[in-house]
């Protein structure tokens, strides 16, 4: 557990869950998140859902499932619009956040939004795509996030500010984390589907993790059934489509507490529940996985 001292009257409990991968990931969210909201008394939950539908994109139906489970906000990524129906859905559903810099102009939906909590507190959520090793030549994420953070000072216009940095390279994620330090409450990386071990509070009071990992089956190759990825690595030839692994899921992400008066992070904990990985979280919890949804 990591803590820093802070003087505050109220704190916010935030949970960020990493890339939801196929049916196994959806099961982990739908079965565990309602319980976690109660037991950890969560104020705000963000879920990265860009791989929730068959491992490639997010459908409106599966977005609705994530919201029903207790997500206040769903972020996307470079697969934001792999499901064509997401284009119109993102324009009509304000709880969907796509990357600020996914297109030069005309992208559906929004890349940043302020969410109003029932008690009057406000949370900014924004997302940017990295440039290094990414397939598309996305625009500069530093320039994209700068005006958003400047317009929404934490502890002022918003009580907390969360940034999802969807990047391939950990160096780019770390640089973005330090760029946002002192202005964001939480900067967390997504995209690589492997949780890193560098959860920390930066010198300016920003909680940081290079990658939250995925919510899905870790007996896999980053969430996909193993045979086809291994075949392609060994032979250089594709024989079948990638298919999401469907074994017991792990819920992976980050828990953060922030000071309402300043927006600084005061506590950060990695989250790993169920499945194959070593368990971690802010408090012990026994999950009742039960039965989940069907589909890809």
Say how far residue 193 (Cα) sits from the centre of its chain.
Answer: 10
Burial of 202 (0-12, 13-18, 19+ CB in 10 A): middle
d(CA 178, CA 182): 8
User: Which position among 62, 79, 191, 193 bears the catalytic label?
Assistant: 79
pLDDT score, position 8: 39
d(CA 68, CA 269): 25
pLDDT score, position 197: 97
Structure tokens at 33: 């998140």
The whole-chain average pLDDT of the chain stands at: 93
Whether 7 has a pLDDT exceeding 50, the answer reads no
pLDDT score, position 293: 61
3-state helix/strand/coil string of 43-67: CEEEEECCECCCCCCCCHHHHHHHH
User: Going from the N-terminus, what domains does the chain have, and what CATH number goes with each?
Assistant: 12-217+249-273 (3.60.21.10)
Residue pair 229/250 in contact (Cβ under 8 Å)? The answer is no
Instruction: Enumerate the β-bridge partners of residue 207.
Output: 186, 201
pLDDT score, position 295: 61
Encode pLDDT of 162-204 as tens digits.
999 999 999 999 999 999 999 999 999 999 999 999 999 999 9
pLDDT score, position 292: 54
Whether 87 has a pLDDT exceeding 90, the answer reads yes
User: What stretch of H or E contains 124?
Assistant: strand 122-129
At 3, the pLDDT band (50, 70, 90 cuts) reads very low
d(CA 150, CA 110): 17
Whether 5 has a pLDDT exceeding 80, the answer reads no
d(CA 147, CA 155): 17
Residue pair 14/257 in contact (Cβ under 8 Å)? The answer is yes
Encode pLDDT of 142-173 as tens digits.
999 999 999 999 999 999 999 999 999 999 99
Q: Which residue has the tokens 């996307």?
A: 76
Active site residue 79: yes
């Amino acid at each position: 557990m990591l803590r820093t001292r802070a003087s505050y009257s109220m704190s916010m409990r935030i949970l960020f869950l990493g890339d939801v991968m196929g049916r196994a990931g959806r099961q982990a969210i739908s079965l565990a998140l309602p319980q976690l909201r109660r037991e950890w008394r969560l104020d705000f939950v963000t879920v990265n859902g860009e791989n929730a539908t068959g491992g490639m994109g997010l459908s409106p139906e599966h977005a609705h499932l994530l919201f029903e489970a207790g997500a206040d906000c769903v972020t996307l990524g470079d697969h934001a619009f792999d499901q064509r129906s997401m284009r119109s859905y993102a324009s009509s559903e304000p709880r969907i956040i796509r990357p600020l810099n996914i297109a030069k102009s005309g992208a559906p939906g929004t890349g940043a939004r302020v969410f109003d909590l029932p008690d009057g507190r406000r949370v900014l959520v924004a997302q940017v795509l990295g440039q290094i090793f990414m397939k598309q030549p996305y625009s500069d994420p530093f320039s994209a996030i700068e005006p958003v953070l400047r317009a929404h000072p934490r502890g002022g216009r918003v009580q907390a500010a969360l940034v999802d940095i969807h990047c391939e390279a950990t160096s780019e994620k770390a640089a973005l984390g330090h760029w946002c330090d002192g202005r964001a409450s939480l900067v967390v990386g997504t995209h690589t589907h492997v949780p890193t071990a560098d959860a920390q509070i930066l010198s300016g009071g920003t909680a940081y993790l290079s990658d939250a990992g995925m919510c899905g089956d870790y007996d896999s190759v980053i969430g996909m059934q193993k045979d086809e990825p291994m075949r392609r690595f060994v032979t250089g030839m594709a024989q079948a489509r990638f298919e999401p692994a469907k074994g017991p899921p792990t819920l992976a992400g980050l828990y953060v507490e922030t000071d309402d008066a300043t927006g600084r992070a005061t506590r950060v904990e990695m989250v790993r529940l169920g499945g194959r990985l070593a368990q971690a979280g802010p408090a012990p919890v026994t999950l009742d996985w039960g039965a989940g949804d069907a589909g890809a």
